[in-house]
Amino acid sequence: MKNEFMKRAIELSLESVNKGGGPFGCVIVKDEKIVSEGSNKVTSSKDPTAHGEIVAIREACKKINNFSLSGFELYSSCEPCPMCLSAIYWARIDKVYFANTRQDAQKIDFDDSLIYSEFQKNIDKRKIPMVQMMRSEALKAFELWDKKIDKVKY
């Protein structure tokens, strides 16, 4: 069955290319059934976060009315980029299967190596300047959250 899920992710990546999108597709599965599908919609939606995995995660969460995808598996036509990998962890997906590697993606100009290298750097050494400001004012929201009795942890 796993091969069928990956075949569908790859089909979605091919369809995306034919529609003018990036060559990426994804399906999210629970109990051996596809719950959601996604393909790259960055250019069509003018949204840099509309990667196949993100589209599929958003759809799955909407369908189950929950932000947690614990118990789900994700099949992607390519190894998830840093943003998608972060979303996968935030969504608590149990397992990821992928076809193409990030090196394969790099060869066709989908190069995430800068982002991976930026994660390793101190804030003051990153390409995009990062300036901390107004921390004491911002901490008020954290204090409020910390004391909140009915908060939904995630």
Q: Show the tokens assigned to 71.
A: 């118990």
Catalytic (active site) residue 53: yes
Count Cα neighbours of 118 within 13 Å in the Cβ-side half-sphere: 12
Q: What letter would DSSP give residue 80?
A: P
| Residue tagged active-site, from 32, 37, 53, 73 | 53
Return d(Cα 83, Cα 69) in angstroms, integer: 17
Q: What letter would DSSP give residue 128?
A: S
Q: Show the tokens assigned to 149.
A: 């009795």
What is the DSSP pairing of strand 73-78 with strand 95-100?
Answer: parallel
The catalytic residues are 53
